[in-house]
Amino acid sequence: MATIKDVARVAGVSLGTVSNVLNGKNSVRPGNKRKVYDAMKEVGFHYNMTASALRTKTTKNIGLIIPSITNPYYPELARGVEDAARREGLTVFLCNDDRDTEKERAYIKALLSKGVDGIILLKPRLEHSELLEVKERTSLVLGDASIDIRNEFHVVNADDVQGVICAMNFLGQNGHSQIAMITGMMESYSSQCRLDAYKRYLESRKLCYRPEYVVSGNYSWKSGCRLAKQLMSLPDPPTAIFAANDMMAIGAMKGVQTMGYRIPQDISIIGYDDIEMSNLSNPALTTVHQPKYNMGTECLKMLHACINGKESMDTTKRITLENHLIIRESVGMVR
């Protein structure tokens, strides 16, 4: 394997000079630059980033830890991260933590050991103190994270309460007052936010909160299917169901349809996320669009700023992205 040493020898210049042309330093005589390039070709030189990393203490690698790549929400976000990363010359380690704290910890440890320049951690499960330790050792950006009161972390979130209000308002405009909710897993911060926003909406409209209208799923279509059936079996079933993600919403559609209900004539269904498949359900799903790709790019931009030390006092430490409603066919006027 040819090294810059070989290049230097063949080019008849010194190590330092080769290194300089490699790093685009302009303090190299054009003639020498030429010679170096020729020599690189001649000896078949390949730059070794590992050596560079050891010396400079920067690897140009970052870690992205997501709950699950199988959940269609995350690939798009991951894509946003990757595209933005490539623009900055960064390569990303993609890691699934399966919503498992141990796995999350293990991946962080591995990434740290590999000397990543930074980590983007989505839906962090580690507790405050551990997160602080990570932040001590590398640049850290949190996504979909609960608020840290003390403003200690860099975080980018989507505006859950605004998104829920969007959906609930639209249901309200369509005359719905009996609105059920299929929440996500309640350990999750954003699930709590969404449920809170749901309750607050009800309050603001002087609608009564019915505990039996709130059920908790696990983001899978199967749970949506099962819970929707359960909801529709209530003595006084809802006229609309709001699911905390599209997978569950689509499952819910399937569930109520097998019971013989028509959507949206008999029951309205609204989702959250706007995954591609929500176009394809029958009827097409009305849902809250989350700016997934943008969340990814924003995460990376923020991380990049941290890495480059532009994260001074005045730098934005917190970004909250807005959602918006996508009106399709699954919501109708109340009967």
Partner DNA sequence: TTGTATGCGTTATCAG
Partner DNA sequence: CTGATAACGCATACAA
Q: Which residues bind its own copies (CB under 8 A)?
A: 46-51, 53-54, 59, 61, 69-70, 72, 75-76, 78-79, 82, 91-96, 110-115, 137, 221, 250-251, 253-254, 257, 276-277, 279-282
192 binds DNA per the rule CB under 7 A: no
What is the Cα–Cα distance from 300 to 213, expressed in whole angstroms? 39
CA of residue 151 relative to chain centroid, distance:
20
Q: Which residue has the tokens 């689509």?
A: 250
Site for DNA in 234-273 (CB under 7 A): none
48 vs 265 by CB, closer to its own copies: 48
129 binds, among its own copies, DNA, none (CB under 5 to 8 A by kind): none
Smallest separation (angstroms) from DNA to the CB of 308:
14
CB of 18 to DNA, least distance (A): 7
How far is the C-alpha of 260 from the C-alpha of 266, rounded, in Å? 9
Residues within window 71-130 making contact with DNA, judged by CB under 7 A: none
- For residue 131, the minimal CB distance to its own copies (Å) is 17
Residue 160 DSSP SS3:
helix
CA distance 102 to 95: 13
Q: Is 29 in the site for DNA (CB under 7 A)?
A: yes
26 is a contact residue toward DNA (CB under 7 A): yes
Using CA atoms, how far apart are residues 290 and 156, in angstroms rounded to an integer? Answer: 13
Query: Are the beta carbons of 39 and 259 closer than 8 angstroms?
Result: no
Nearer to its own copies, 28 or 62 (CB): 62
Site for DNA contains 202 (CB under 7 A): no
- Please say whether the beta carbons of 172 and 205 come within 8 A: yes
- Non-local (6+) Cβ contacts of 223 within 8 A are 182, 217, 248, 251
Task: Tell me whether residue 50 or residue 151 sits nearer to its own copies (CB atom).
Answer: 50
Burial (CB < 10 A; 0-12, 13-18, 19+), residue 98, is middle
Among 16, 44, 209, 335, binds DNA (CB under 7 A): 16
Q: Report the partner that residue 16 touches, choosing among its own copies, DNA, none (CB closer than 5 to 8 A by kind).
A: DNA
Given candidates 10, 13, 85, 270, which one binds DNA under the rule CB under 7 A?
13
Residues in the chain, total: 335
Least distance to its own copies, CB of residue 279, Å: 7
Contacts of 219 (CB under 8 A, 6+ apart): 71, 184, 185, 244, 245, 247, 248
Q: What's the CA gap between 288 and 142, in Å, rounded?
A: 22
Contacted entry of DNA, its own copies, none for residue 59, CB cut-off 5 to 8 Å set by kind:
its own copies
Residues within the interface to DNA (CB under 7 A): 1, 3-5, 12-17, 19-20, 22-23, 26-29, 31-32, 45-48, 51-52, 54-56
